[in-house]
């Protein structure tokens, strides 16, 4: 996929995305958490004073990561280190993810443990715009980044499905303006039977059958009663409801979404970013642009003595635009140029479900490890907690980095006193019989058994040696007591 974006047009869409985000976060902020139907007039905050909002703040940290390290080989663990270093809040899933990481638990496992409620919440889909803006017109690329981001504090739950859905929709919005086609693209990237998909399908069924927006809102609330408030399925649906029933009109769409209640700063900010991408800065009413101004106010970032964050929407726009060709270059068969020539792009296919399925073909209780010569996915057969004398199963799947080169490996486990690991200690990484299976792979099962001494945190160090290579793969498995 080769795309050329006219510089001015692409900048206008990115600019519109961030202005819309700032408008929605500020307008919806004062009503966050209200569960009743609302009837707001518009802004209730002073002119020129945007409210601070974690929806935008967290994405500034990801921008910092990319500017300091580039997007090449970025992992969820890399972003996790920036979470701990620069993101202040400890509330809800943010705090759970950080607490687990400080305990040595890596993503996506750190987003799953002790997180049964908040892994389905709103913290991830509200920070997808940066991945969409850096991968315009390529939803499959955007969702890979969004998944790495979301799984840190949501594991593989509804919050992560929501982030993938919204990132795909926003990325596609750079080249497609039909909201129904954009919704369909987003739905192809997430499991058909997840709560996120069911909420969007309920919304579409009601809309197509002429059901009014208030009844539809109430139906969405009832559908999500069993998982509670501040959860992703209903709130993402509220944002899309605003756009559908608002007929794409910026003001009507945003106010309708806010009037649904619940996580109103998030729903309004996402309405603003989607319509900002579709229509550009010029599609946002001038009086609202003037009211919000250009300033970014932060609340969730540790600025320290070395702030590297944009302080205006204009600066944010220019810095994101500069990274677009660099980020696109990391995705195979996808290139983006930004020139003064006319935009020449492709519309993403509506049946592109393969990449989404690949993201979720793994255990909820898993994490990745870079071995140098390959990558390992470590998957527990249940939540990694253990009692005296208990056992837990773990699968270690290793995929070589070098196409078509089979390898011989040996593995060693350094365990806490009394722990035992049963399973193969030497094995062969074999290449497949098909061209796309030529990356050598090994897949082995192990059983970890605790002895009579179980601590709160039990650290198993794993050493994987590839014969004839200088790199030694090392990673830790943390088993909670």
pLDDT of 228-283, one tens digit each? 999 999 999 999 999 999 999 999 999 999 999 999 999 999 999 999 999 999 99
Amino acid 244: pLDDT: 98
**pLDDT score recorded for residue 345:** 83
Task: For the chain, list the domains and their CATH numbers.
Answer: 2-354 (1.10.4080.10), 363-480 (2.60.40.10)
| pLDDT value at residue 329 | 74
Encoding tokens for residue 162?
Answer: 């929501």
Residue 135's SS3 state is coil
Going from the C-alpha of 73 to that of each of 7, 76, 242, 423, the distances in angstroms are 27, 10, 37, 30
What pLDDT score was predicted for residue 305?
61
Q: Is 166 left (phi over 0), alpha (psi -120 to 50) or beta?
A: alpha
Mean pLDDT (the chain, rounded): 93
User: CA nearest 3: which of 334, 277, 331?
Assistant: 334
CA distances from 353 to 172, 260, 467 (A): 14, 30, 38
pLDDT tens digits, one per residue of 100-158: 999 999 999 999 999 999 999 999 999 999 999 999 999 999 999 999 999 999 999 99
The segments of the chain whose pLDDT lies below 50 read none
Which residues lie closer than 8 Å to 154 by C-beta, 6 or more apart? 93, 97, 111, 115, 118, 119, 120, 121, 123, 124, 160, 163
> Rounded to two decimals, what is the model's pTM?
0.95
């Amino acid at each position: 996929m080769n795309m050329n974006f006219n510089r001015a047009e692409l900048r206008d869409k990115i600019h519109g995305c961030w202005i819309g985000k700032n408008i929605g976060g500020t307008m919806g902020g004062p009503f966050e958490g209200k569960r009743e139907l609302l009837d707001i007039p518009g802004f209730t905050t002073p002119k020129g004073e945007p409210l601070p909002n974690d929806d935008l703040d967290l994405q500034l940290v990801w921008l910092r990561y990319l500017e300091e390290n580039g997007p090449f080989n970025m992992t969820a663990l890399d972003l996790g280190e920036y979470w701990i270093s620069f993101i202040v809040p400890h509330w809800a899933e943010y705090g759970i993810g950080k607490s687990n990481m400080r305990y040595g638990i890596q993503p996506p496992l750190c987003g799953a443990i002790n997180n049964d409620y908040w892994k389905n919440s709103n913290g991830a889909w509200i920070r997808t715009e940066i991945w969409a803006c850096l991968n315009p017109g390529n939803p499959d690329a955007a969702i890979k980044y969004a998944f790495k981001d979301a799984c840190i504090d949501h594991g593989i739950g509804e919050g992560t499905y929501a982030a993938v859905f919204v990132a795909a929709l926003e990325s596609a919005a750079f080249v497609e303006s039909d909201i129904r086609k954009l919704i369909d693209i987003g739905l192809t990237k997430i499991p058909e039977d997840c709560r996120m998909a069911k909420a969007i399908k309920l919304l579409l069924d009601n809309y197509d059958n002429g059901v009014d927006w208030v009844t539809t809102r109430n139906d969405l609330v009832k559908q999500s009663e069993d998982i509670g408030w501040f959860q992703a399925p209903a709130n993402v649906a509220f944002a899309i409801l605003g756009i559908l029933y608002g007929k794409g009109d910026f003001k009507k769409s945003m106010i309708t979404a806010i009037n649904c209640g619940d996580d109103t700063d998030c729903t309004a900010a996402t309405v603003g970013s989607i319509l900002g991408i579709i229509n550009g800065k010029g599609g946002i009413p001038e009086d609202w642009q003037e009211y919000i101004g250009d300033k970014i106010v932060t609340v969730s970032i540790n600025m320290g003595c070395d702030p590297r964050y944009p302080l205006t929407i204009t600066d944010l726009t220019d810095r994101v635009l500069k990274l677009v060709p660099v980020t696109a270059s990391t995705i195979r068969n996808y290139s983006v140029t930004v020139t003064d020539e006319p935009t020449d792009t492709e519309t993403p296919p509506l049946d592109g479900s393969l990449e989404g399925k690949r993201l979720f073909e793994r255990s909820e209780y898993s994490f990745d490890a870079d071995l140098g010569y390959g990558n390992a996915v470590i998957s527990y057969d249940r939540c990694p907690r253990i009692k005296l004398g208990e056992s837990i199963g773990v699968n270690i799947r290793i995929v070589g980095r070098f196409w078509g080169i089979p390898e011989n490996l040996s593995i060693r486990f350094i365990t806490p006193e009394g722990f035992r690991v049963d399973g193969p200690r030497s094995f062969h990484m074999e290449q497949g019989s098909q061209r796309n299976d030529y990356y050598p792979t090994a897949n082995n099962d192990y059983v970890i058994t605790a002895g009579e001494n179980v601590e709160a945190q039990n650290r198993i160090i794993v050493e994987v040696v590839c014969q004839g290579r200088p790199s030694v793969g090392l990673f830790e498995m943390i088993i909670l007591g």
